[in-house]
Amino acid sequence: MKRTIRDLKNIKGKRILLRCDFNVPLDNYGDILDDTRIVAELPTIAYLNQKGAKLIVCSHLGRPKGFDKYLSLFPVAVYLMKHFPNKVKFCSKVVGPEVDNAVEKLNDGEILVLENLRFNEGEELNSPAFVSKLAKLADIYVDDAFGVTHRKHASNYGVALKLPSAIGFLIEKELLTFQQAFEQPKHPFVAIFGGAKVADKLSLINNVMDKADTIIIGGGMAYTFLQAMGQNIGDSIVALDKIEEAKNVLKNAKEKGIKILLPIDHVALIKDKDKVIKTTGLEKGMVGLDIGRKSAKLFVDEILKAQQIIWNGPVGKYEDKRFKNGTIKIAKAVAKSGAYSIVGGGDSVSAVNASGVADQINHLSTGGGASLKLMEGKILPAIEVIDTL
């Protein structure tokens, strides 16, 4: 069991370095276009603030190479100022004398927001010098940046090795949700996988193999499975080096009595004519880019019977409106099913948002890569180094 902020005692007046994930989209005027990630961090900030800690809040934003005025965390600090009136200060540096000075002047119950961690190249390199400068700012380290827990960066992995540490409420919720879903699944448990990167998704499938009742496979990855079954997939995306693994998955599932559902029809592009067709068979020159109507019905019928669902990856190239229907139907069915539902991975989360059903999903995981790793049953390095109870 990882130590959580609830386990931290007597923190009034203690300097706490809190790593958040404020990687929010901004426009060129510094307006925050989607505050979901900030809202998700508010309970942890509020809790530590109410306990009277001196909070030093840090985060990355985007992928700057050095200072970039369009990726400043100042707009986030302003947002927090509205939530915590007269308590929030901003320092326009990441580390150094100005930061040391600002921390020195912090009163109990005040919040200091530091500038974007990635303005310092030591952050992603996990450089020892940068780690030391961050660590010396605080007595305790709290990680609540779930979205980067699969990375070994200075502000998570590096600092956690230097200071007494704990996880915040957001990470705690992500861990508990996945743990419960995999250790005590409700049945029927339907796992839905899509997307294009077969290598990643094979580990997902293997991780649910002993737990799920039905595995639905759509999206680009489905074509590797269909080819493994000897079907003609035309010019659809395929991972030839994964055909044998796909065959093994199909064989294992059969032996274990797990139902695997694959597309039975397709929305395809005829490449040289740039024409979209609906078809049950794919031939040379045709690229399958979405599940067809019959497949959608097959998948939806199964989803509606579920008591628990996990979903990662779109079942079509949904960014292109000609191929988004299948994914939207899946999102709506997951919402309608009434099953306990977990959706992870950036694309499936945005499909849920685009379908307007986000409020009917039990858990929308906040971290793309990190939630994929959790679904794969892998250990997240930045969480592994947090103190245990």
Q: Annotated catalytic, 15?
A: no
Binding mask 166-205 for ligand AMP (x = CB under 6 A): ----------------------------xxxx--------
In the chain, DSSP finds a helix count (H) and a strand count (E) of 15, 15
Contact 161, 385 (CB under 8 A): yes
The least distance separating ligand AMP from the CB of residue 324, rounded to whole angstroms, comes to: 9
Active-site residue among 186, 197, 254, 378?
A: 197
The answer to whether 42 and 32 have CB atoms below 8 angstroms apart is: no
Q: How far apart are CA 171 and CA 178, in angstroms?
A: 11
220 Rama class: left (phi>0) / alpha (psi -120 to 50) / beta: alpha
Q: Which is nearer to ligand AMP, 149 or 371 (CB)?
A: 371
Distance CA 184, CA 165 (A): 28
Structure tokens at 123: 């952050």
Cα distance between residue 219 and residue 289, in whole Å: 7
Q: Which region, judged by CB under 6 A, interacts with ligand AMP, from 10-18, 40-48, 57-65, 309-317?
A: 309-317
- The window from 7-15, 70-78, 130-138, 313-321 that contacts ligand AMP (CB under 6 A) reads 313-321
Query: How many residues bind ligand AMP, per CB under 6 A?
Result: 16
Query: Does 264 sit near ligand AMP (CB under 6 A)?
Result: no
Going by C-alpha positions, the residue among 173, 146, 139 that lies closest to residue 8 is 139
Residue 118 known to be catalytic: no
Alpha-carbon separation of residue 248 from 205, 215, 251, 259 (angstroms): 11, 14, 5, 14
Annotated catalytic residue, options 13, 52, 109, 346: 346
Instruction: Select the residue interacting with ligand AMP from 234, 314, 344, 367 (CB under 6 A).
Output: 314
The closest alpha carbon to 9, from 143, 164, 160, belongs to: 164
Select 166 or 228, whichever has its Cβ closest to ligand AMP: 228
CB of 291 to ligand AMP, least distance (A): 8
Q: Of 294, 242, 237, give the one whose Cα is nearest residue 266.
A: 294
Q: Write down the least CB distance from residue 187 to ligand AMP, Å.
A: 26
Q: Any catalytic annotation for residue 369?
A: yes
Q: How far is the CB of 365 from ligand AMP (least distance, A)?
A: 13
Q: Torsion angle, CA of 36/37/39/43, rounded to 10 degrees? A: 150
165-167, strands of its sheet edge to edge: 88-90, 111-113, 54-58, 15-19, 140-143, 165-167
147 versus 194: smaller Cβ distance to ligand AMP = 194
Residue with the shortest CB distance to ligand AMP: 195
Q: In the complex, what is the shortest distance from the CB of residue 9 to ligand AMP, in angstroms, rounded to a whole number?
A: 42
Least gap, CB of 381 to ligand AMP (angstroms): 21
- Nearest CB to ligand AMP, comparing residues 313 and 367: 313
DSSP classification of residue 111: E
Q: Does 293 bind ligand AMP (CB under 6 A)?
A: no
Cβ neighbourhood burial of 359 (10 Å; 0-12, 13-18, 19+)? exposed
What is the pattern of x (binds ligand AMP, CB under 6 A) and - over residues 324-363?
A: ---------------------x-x----------------
**Is 197 one of the annotated active-site residues of the chain?**
yes
> What are the residues binding ligand AMP (CB under 6 A)?
194-197, 219-220, 237, 288-289, 313-314, 316-317, 319, 345, 347
User: Residues with catalytic annotation?
Assistant: 37, 197, 346, 369
